[in-house]
Amino acid sequence: MTIWFGQGNRLRTRNSASGFTLVEMLVVAGVVAIGASMAIVQVEQGLANFRGNSGMRAVIGQLNRARALAITQRRNMTVQFVAPNQIQITRQEVPAGTTVMSTMLLESGVTFHLYTSQPNTPDMFGNAGDWDFGATTTTMAFTPEGSLVNQLGVPINGTVYLGRPTDTKTARAVTVFGTTGRIRGYRWLGGSQWDIP
């Protein structure tokens, strides 16, 4: 680049080199790499939360649907949890017979699963026993009054534990208070802490 200076009509030449040095480029690349690694960790955590919440909402949705159908159609609606990840709603016909109302599979690898040393939820309905999905198929029914009962017609409380078996960040629980049919979801924070998402 040539610049004109007013002293004695003299021309001076000055080179203007613009750009980044190698050190500056390495610093920028390092900052970008750190930012990208932090973003990957956050995306992975967000994906685990999404998968767990998706499974929990599906279970809550099916339980609410079964309860609403029982109330509106004045028939018992059987809810059957079939390991590893299937929920089926069946209407009990009068005087005899059944009609399948809905069958749903949990997605994203979420199954009915209780993690080792996972504590009971704040509702204290237990974390073993009647609703052990790993070993048995468990059946219960919502009545036209909205309560949840066992095969003998006795109101039961219970908890559905679910998550991806290989990822404890997806651990969720859904509780049902048998007498009123109240349904509540929980997210496991690890240790002994549950949170309502």
pLDDT given for residue 10 in this prediction:
54
Let me know if 169 is exposed, middle or buried by CB neighbors in 10 A (0-12, 13-18, 19+).
middle
- b/e per residue, 45-59, with b = 16+ CB within 10 A? eeebeebbbebbebb
pLDDT given for residue 25 in this prediction:
86
What are the sequence ranges of the domains in the chain? 20-195
Cα separation of 36 and 29, whole Å? 10
pLDDT given for residue 16 in this prediction:
57
CATH topology of domain 20-195: minor pseudopilin epsh fold (3.55.40)
pLDDT given for residue 23 in this prediction:
86
pLDDT given for residue 19 in this prediction:
77
Give the pLDDT of the chain (197 residues) as one tens digit per residue. 555 555 555 555 555 567 778 888 888 888 888 877 777 766 677 788 889 999 999 999 999 999 999 999 999 999 998 888 999 999 999 888 999 999 999 998 999 988 887 888 998 887 764 454 434 446 789 999 999 998 888 898 888 899 999 999 999 999 999 999 999 999 998 888 999 87
> pTM of whole model > 0.85?
no
